[in-house]
């Protein structure tokens, strides 16, 4: 690839980094909920209690 674009540089796209991190975190949360039998509404209940 460097033969076609010798001046190319790798850049960091923070939007997609955060998007990927959030997706992976959500996948882990879903897996734990399935394995441990947590109710689906637990996520929102926890978010609501930390907000008040």
| Spatial separation of the C-alpha atoms in residues 42 and 45, rounded to whole Å | 5
Q: What is the pLDDT of residue 2?
A: 73
Q: Is residue 7 part of a domain?
A: no
Residue 30 forms part of a structural domain: yes
In this predicted structure, what is the pLDDT of residue 48? 62
Q: Say if 9 falls within a structural domain.
A: no
Look at residue 34 and tell me if it is in a domain: yes
Residue 37 lies in a domain: yes
For the chain, what is the domain count? 1
In a domain, 32, yes or no: yes
Residue 51 has pLDDT above 60, yes or no: no
Domain of 29 in residue numbering reads as 14-50
Instruction: Give residue-wise pLDDT tens across range 2-49.
Output: 788 889 888 889 999 999 999 998 898 888 878 887 666 766 666 666
Check if the beta carbon of residue 46 is closer than 8 Å to that of residue 32. no
Q: Please give the pLDDT value at position 24.
A: 93
pLDDT score, position 45: 67
33 within some domain = yes
pTM value?
A: 0.52
């Amino acid at each position: 690839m460097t033969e076609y674009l010798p001046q190319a540089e790798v850049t960091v796209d923070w939007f997609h980094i955060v998007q990927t991190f959030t997706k992976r975190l959500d996948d882990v949360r879903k897996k734990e909920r399935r394995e441990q039998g947590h109710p689906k509404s637990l996520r929102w209940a926890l978010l609501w209690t930390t907000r008040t």
